[in-house]
């Protein structure tokens, strides 16, 4: 009886609550379109090697995202009269002939925003690390149009890598595309990682895209940045060799989209694509599987357009668009130093210069193994700090003269004493350009070392002693000449008195 009394007392509020929920349900049902809706489905007729051939779906567009039964996704890569060739973006184990497919009407999109900083993701933006779930600022398509000419500004601000041979001879600018090219195991990735690590002293966000690399090499790269760089301002987009070909194909485009979001907000980003040779091989594989006609070296005819539309997205925007920049360091691998192969020549013609890595220099322990004669930056001094350009002007010419004379000395001694200073200076230049990994030099130390080199202060110094001298210069300059760094970074040229003071300081450190 007591329970009946309590239910009776609470019956009125419960009835009112039921009536409120019923009214909300009726309003929700009134907004639902209950009319018949037509949806089209296709069927997989053949699948293999990361490609699914689909019949049906007459309204699907090129590069449209497809959903396979079971939750897998794909991308419409080629449209024939009766079938669609789609690249599978997930593991294809659950996809077989007869699997139902539906179109989405959308293109592939990836997450963007600060939530990706310090994270390791796959090309679809799915996290691969053990952190918290990623909370992006939004989603953007992986294929985006490059900025128009009118939307771009001149490349005039430097990207300092901390590697003396690059900063002095092949200066990079914000918004530039500089190709790093060379044979296998010549230090291409190491040079790009040094550039990423040195951005811990700048405001640049770095994106590292691994395409077709070994998992162990990717882990070493991530650990290097975690140990020596600003990992919290980096994004790692990973598509290892074991991943699906479709993921490897979209990886560079996904990385560019993540970096472009930084640029479009007025920030500055640096992207490294490691490497485009493997990306080209993946594109060739997918093209042949979709029955596209092969061309030179079996690559399809659109391989140039593929990489051109990708790398053209790197740019510095005009001030009225925020003034942001996106700098690209694509990596390409050559076979036996053949720079005239199809993919290397394509990439050289697309980019604003190339840094050529030489296997002979690498074997001789002259690292970074940059071939000074073949490397070039088509922006160069326009993006270099005036003080650094002032002291590095003759280094390349002097080094080229030394290399030519050194070649003749192999056939016998040169008795003319006029050539002895050239050989002595060249040996010091070679020693100055040798630099260990993860040993980035601040710009004021680079200026001091090159100023001492130009004024002959290093001529009495043994080449073997220069690495130790380099460390002393970097440690001593902030206390002995505290205002030098601010003057250099402010775009000021150095007067003769300052250059002489730098040379005297280097001589003092060498004697000590």
d(CA 455, CA 113): 49
pLDDT at 294 over 90: yes
Asked if the bond preceding 339 is cis, omega within 30° of 0, the reply is no
What confidence category does residue 6 fall into, taking pLDDT thresholds of 50, 70 and 90? very low
**Residues 6 or more apart from 475 whose CB is under 8 A from it?**
none
CA distance readout (Å), 430 to 143, 169, 291, 333, 426: 44, 13, 51, 25, 6
pLDDT digits (tens, 9 = 90+) for 390-423: 999 889 899 988 988 888 777 666 656 778 888 8
Residue 412: its pLDDT value, please? 64
Residue 12: its pLDDT value, please? 64
Collapsing DSSP to helix, strand or coil, 33 comes out as coil
d(CA 258, CA 375): 29
Residue 393: its pLDDT value, please? 85
Residue 16: its pLDDT value, please? 75
Q: Look over the chain and give the mean of its residue pLDDT values, rounded to a whole number.
A: 91
CA distance readout (Å), 41 to 56, 58, 60, 70, 105: 7, 9, 10, 14, 13
Long-range contacts of 335-344 (CB under 8 A, 24+ apart): 335/183, 336/183, 337/182, 337/183, 339/181, 339/374, 341/297, 342/296, 342/297, 342/299, 342/303, 343/276, 343/277, 343/280, 343/297, 343/299, 343/303, 344/181
Mean pLDDT within 278-288: 95
Domain ranges of the chain: 41-107, 110-384, 389-511
The stretches of 116-210 forming alpha helices (DSSP H) are 164-169, 188-198
φ/ψ of residue 405, rounded to 5: -65, -40
pLDDT digits (tens, 9 = 90+) for 181-202: 999 999 999 999 999 999 999 9
CB-based contact 47:40 (threshold 8 Å): no
CA distance readout (Å), 298 to 48, 53, 70, 307: 20, 22, 35, 16
Residue 410: its pLDDT value, please? 72
Which CATH number applies to 389-511: 3.30.470.30, 3.30.1330.60, 1.20.150.20, 1.10.3720.10? Answer: 1.20.150.20
pLDDT at 4 over 70: no
Residue 3: its pLDDT value, please? 47
**Per-residue tokens: 296:** 């030179």
Residue 381: its pLDDT value, please? 81
pLDDT at 1 over 50: no
pLDDT digits (tens, 9 = 90+) for 17-49: 777 878 887 777 777 776 676 678 899 999 988
Residue 335: its pLDDT value, please? 95
d(CA 151, CA 326): 13
As its CATH architecture, domain 110-384 has 3-Layer(aba) Sandwich (3.40)
pLDDT at 512 over 80: no
32-36, 122-126, 148-152, 298-302: least confident range: 32-36
Residue 34: its pLDDT value, please? 67
**Per-residue tokens: 219:** 């882990």
pLDDT digits (tens, 9 = 90+) for 446-455: 999 999 999 9
Residue 406: its pLDDT value, please? 84
What confidence category does residue 260 fall into, taking pLDDT thresholds of 50, 70 and 90? very high
CB-based contact 397:503 (threshold 8 Å): no
Q: Are strands 41-48 and 51-55 parallel, antiparallel or unpaired?
A: antiparallel
pLDDT digits (tens, 9 = 90+) for 207-254: 999 999 999 999 999 999 999 999 999 999 999 999 999 999 999 999
- 41-107 maps to which CATH number? 2.40.30.20
| pLDDT above 70 as % of the chain | 95
- Enter the pTM of the model: 0.90
Give me the active site residues, please. 378
């Amino acid at each position: 009886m007591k329970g009946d009394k309590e239910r009776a007392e609470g019956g009125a509020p419960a009835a009112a609550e039921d009536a409120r929920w019923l009214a909300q349900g009726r309003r929700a049902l009134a907004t639902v379109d209950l009319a018949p809706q037509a949806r089209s489905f296709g069927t997989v007729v053949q699948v293999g090697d990361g490609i699914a051939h689909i019949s049906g779906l007459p309204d699907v567009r090129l590069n449209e995202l497809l959903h396979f039964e079971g939750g897998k996704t794909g991308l419409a890569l080629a449209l024939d009269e009766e079938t669609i060739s789609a690249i599978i973006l997930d593991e294809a184990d659950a996809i077989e002939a007869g699997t139902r497919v539906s179109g989405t009407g959308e293109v592939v999109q990836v997450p963007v925003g600060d939530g990706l900083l310090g994270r390791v993701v796959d090309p679809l933006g799915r996290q691969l690390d053990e952190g918290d779930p990623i909370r992006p600022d939004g989603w953007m398509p992986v294929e985006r149009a490059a900025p128009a000419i009118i939307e771009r500004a001149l490349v005039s601000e430097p990207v300092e890598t901390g590697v003396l041979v690059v900063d002095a001879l092949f200066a990079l600018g914000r918004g530039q595309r500089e190709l790093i090219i060379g044979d296998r195991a010549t230090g291409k990735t190491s040079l790009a990682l040094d550039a990423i690590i040195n951005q811990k002293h700048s405001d640049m966000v770095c994106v590292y895209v691994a395409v077709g690399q070994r998992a162990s090499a990717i882990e070493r790269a991530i650990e290097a940045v975690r140990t020596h760089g600003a990992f919290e301002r980096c994004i790692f987009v990973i598509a290892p060799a074991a991943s699906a070909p479709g993921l490897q194909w979209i990886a560079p485009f996904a990385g560019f989209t993540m970096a472009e979001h930084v640029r479009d907000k007025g920030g500055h980003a640096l992207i490294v694509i490691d490497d485009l040779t493997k990306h080209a091989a993946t594109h060739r594989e997918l093209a042949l599987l979709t029955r596209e006609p092969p061309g030179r070296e079996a690559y399809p005819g659109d391989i140039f357009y593929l990489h051109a539309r990708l790398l053209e997205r790197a740019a510095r925007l005009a001030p009225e668009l925020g003034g942001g920049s996106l700098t690209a360091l694509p990596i390409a691998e050559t076979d036996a130093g053949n720079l005239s192969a199809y993919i290397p020549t394509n990439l050289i013609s697309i980019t604003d210069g190339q840094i050529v890595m030489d296997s002979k220099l690498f074997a001789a322990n002259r690292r970074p193994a940059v071939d000074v004669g073949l490397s070039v930056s088509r922006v160069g001094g326009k993006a270099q700090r005036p003080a650094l350009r002032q002291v590095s002007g003759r280094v390349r010419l002097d080094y080229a003269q030394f290399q030519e004379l050194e070649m003749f000395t192999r056939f016998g001694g040169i008795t003319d004493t006029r050539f002895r200073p050239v050989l002595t200076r060249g040996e010091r230049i070679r020693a100055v350009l040798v630099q260990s990994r993860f040993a980035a030099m601040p710009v004021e130390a680079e200026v001091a070392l090159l100023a001492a080199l130009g004024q002959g202060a290093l001529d009495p110094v043994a080449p073997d002693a220069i690495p130790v001298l380099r460390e002393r210069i970097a440690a001593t300059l902030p206390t002995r000449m505290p205002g030098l760094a601010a003057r250099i970074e402010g775009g000021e040229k150095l007067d003769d008195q300052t250059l002489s003071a730098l040379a005297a300081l280097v001589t003092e450190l060498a004697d000590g």
